[in-house]
Amino acid sequence: LFFYDNQKEYKQIPYNIKYHGNIAAGRYFGKMLGEYLAQCPWIQDVDAVIPVPLHWIRKWKRGYNQAEVIANEVAATLKIPLRTDLLKRIRSTKTQTRLDVRKKSENVKGAFKAARHDSDRFRHIIIVDDIFTTGSTLMACFTALREISPPSVRISVATLGFVSG
């Protein structure tokens, strides 16, 4: 939805959603992301929206999953099911905020597991998170989903912010 720049005021958007419980902002910007995606021709065949899951302990401590708040609005706007049952975080990980690229990748490697359920019936799924920094978390989610999905299933990602440079 936007290029994340640490020098800009909007850097507070994901921070307030994630750490200050501003769920209303998560819903607002999630809906905005959904409206943006609805205009993209390559997203028209998406049949499931999957938020990046939090480990149950972190979700319990925080009280919510910011990616799920955002993904719920994306799914509602696109009129596509939100699927929180297809991807689980099976291992608690340290926060990624102060890790370098290599350590971020190591931190989330093997942290996610996809459930078989009815995943073979999808044509295109989209993973939603708040911020794309190095892509380590999203790649770990992609890897888990790819293990149970046939090659014909497209897997895309969408985030509120993208850290460039």
Q: Where do the DSSP E strands lie in the chain?
A: 2-4, 48-51, 87-89, 112-114, 124-132, 154-163
8 Å CB contact between 109 and 81: no
Give the single-character DSSP code of 11.
G
Q: What is the mean pLDDT of the chain?
A: 87
- What is the share, in percent, of the chain residues with pLDDT greater than 90? 49
pLDDT-derived band at 143, boundaries 50, 70, 90: very high
- Residue 14 pLDDT > 90, yes or no? no
- Residue 119 pLDDT > 60, yes or no? no
